[in-house]
Amino acid sequence: MIAALARWSIRRRAVVLTCALLLCLLGAWSATRVPIDAMPDITGPQVQINTALPSYAADEAESRVTIPLESELSGLPGLVEFRSLSKTGLSQVTLIFADGTDIFRARQLVTERIGQASGNLPPGAVPVMAPISTGLGEIVYYSIGYAADAKAPADESARLRELRLLHDTRVRPALRSTPGLADVNVIGGHERQMLVEPDLAKLAKSGVPMSELLRAVRRNTENAGGG
């Protein structure tokens, strides 16, 4: 068989050379259009769910948030791999789907399952899906603090609150405008809060029920859009 093919090629050298030249031209044309990367992305479509838990230890985040989410998200169509990470202040669940899975359909299914799992999560635990990205997405961790000669509040809680406010109002908006950046997630610090401590004795003396106080607080702290 090989000898016959060799004899045929020798007798028809022009045809063989023409085919070889066409293949070379086709290869050169393809090389200019095929995307080339030093580290090609071979990961499947993935969806990541992050839940910020500022006051939770790692084991508590796992038992109260990660495990309930895993139980609810298991069995999704096309799901081939399941990973989770629980650490202080954060629960992270990553779902990897089979190649060819519609990522938007997968995210829709995950959203539905998260809604079903919300009833089993502790108050204040709000799972959030990360933006669409791949397993090769680069992650940069950074922290902010006071310089050695900076005038910082003496109270640690006040320092953490001031740093969180600075990050949320100046650092994060500036970073989100960076081209190619998917998201900026914040862990740590103290979010600004308004604390109302009613004097129960004075409320009782004036005849104001607690329900009326709650309604007044809600009325004066709601955000209303300007028409």
Give per-residue pLDDT as tens, 15-25. Answer: 888 999 999 99
Residues 50 and 15 in one domain: no
Residues 169 and 95 in one domain: no
Asked if the structure places residue 36 within a domain, the reply is no
pLDDT attached to residue 132: 80
Tokens at 51, concatenated: 């839940």
pLDDT attached to residue 211: 87
Residue 119 sits in which domain range? 46-129
Residues 50 and 107 in one domain: yes
pLDDT attached to residue 29: 87
pLDDT attached to residue 148: 85
Asked if the structure places residue 51 within a domain, the reply is yes
pLDDT attached to residue 224: 57
Residues 27 and 58 in one domain: no
Q: Parallel, antiparallel, or unpaired for β 79-87 and 46-52?
A: unpaired
Residues 51 and 123 in one domain: yes
pLDDT attached to residue 107: 92
Contacts 24+ apart (CB under 8 A), 178-185: 182/130, 182/131, 182/132, 182/133, 182/137, 183/130, 183/131, 185/50, 185/52, 185/130
pLDDT attached to residue 155: 86
CATH number at residue 123: 3.30.70.1430
pLDDT attached to residue 108: 93
**Which residue, 157, 160, 74, is CA-closest to 117?**
74
Task: Find how far residue 161's CA is from the centre of its chain.
Answer: 24
pLDDT attached to residue 21: 92
* Pairwise CA distance, residues 118 & 139, whole Å: 28
Residues 25 and 78 in one domain: no
Residues 181 and 215 in one domain: yes
pLDDT attached to residue 111: 92
pLDDT attached to residue 93: 92
Residues 125 and 77 in one domain: yes
Tokens at 202, concatenated: 């004075």
Q: Which residue has the tokens 């096309």?
A: 78
* Number of compact structural domains in the chain: 3
Asked if the structure places residue 162 within a domain, the reply is yes
Residue ranges, the chain, pLDDT below 70: 36-42, 134-138, 222-227
* Pairwise CA distance, residues 15 & 39, whole Å: 39
- The pTM of the whole model exceeds 0.85: no
